[in-house]
Amino acid sequence: MIIDLNELRQSSDPLSLSINFDTRQLKLPSDVNLSKGPVRSQLTVSLAGDQVKVMGELKAELELDCCRCLKSFGQSLKKNFRLEYWPDPEVKQEAERAVLNYKDLVVGFYHNDQLDLSAIVCEQIVLEIPMKLVCEKDCKGLCDQCGVDLNENECSCERRTIDPRLVALSSIKERLNK
């Protein structure tokens, strides 16, 4: 959903929206699915000069895949956020660069007086997804030799305590520990 900032400038009031986004609108990564309906959002977009402030709340039920056992699991998402967007700095030549300070890293940029709310919502969802997706804290995963789910069954595969390629490093570690 694209917001035209010129229309917002003509109104003195902030824009308050209640929007439901589905998977097609959000362009989520392929390993993230919405399990129980759309992402529900409450958004407020306001202007302060050229700066755009977006405040919002998201609620969603995500379906993710465990990186250890490959089973799907659900995760609830509820997030409040406050963001700030500035006009995209113009770069006149290809080699020229815009200089940003550390405090500017929390600022986003908009182009052509338009702000894409679906991209903002998608970004907030992706930021909430853990880097390592695990269904349970103590998930045992799959056997690296036969592929059996170790949470459900035991296997009779011989467990190697160390990868043979790392044997040389283990002897160095033993010498350092002495």
Q: pLDDT per residue over 137-147, tens digit each?
A: 999 999 888 88
Q: Find the Cα–Cα–Cα–Cα dihedral 107, 109, 113, 117, rounded to 10°.
A: -80
Residue 134 counted as domain residue: no
Instruction: Map residue 26 onto helix, strand or coil.
Output: helix
Residue 135 lies in a domain: no
pLDDT at 78 over 90: yes
Contact 52, 85 (CB under 8 A): yes
Cβ neighbour number for residue 66 with a 10 Å cutoff: 18
Return d(Cα 86, Cα 49) in angstroms, integer.
10
**Of 107, 128, 149, which residue sits at a domain end?**
128
**Residues 101 and 158 both lie in one domain:** no
Claim to verify: residue 152 and residue 118 sit in the same structural domain:
no
The tens digit of pLDDT for each residue in 100-138 reads 676 666 678 888 888 888 888 888 888 888 888 899 999
Is residue 172 in a domain?
yes
Same domain, 79 and 150: no
Decide if 102 is inside a domain. Answer: yes
| Total count of domains within the chain | 2
Q: What is the overall mean pLDDT for the chain? A: 83
Same domain, 122 and 157: no
Answer yes or no: do 62 and 104 share one domain: yes
Cα–Cα distance for residue pair 99/26, rounded to 1 Å: 30
Q: Are residues 7 and 80 in the same domain?
A: yes
Do 48 and 101 sit in the same domain of this protein? yes
Domain limits for position 163: 140-178
Same domain for 120 and 169, yes or no, is no
**Same domain assignment for residues 118 and 78:** yes
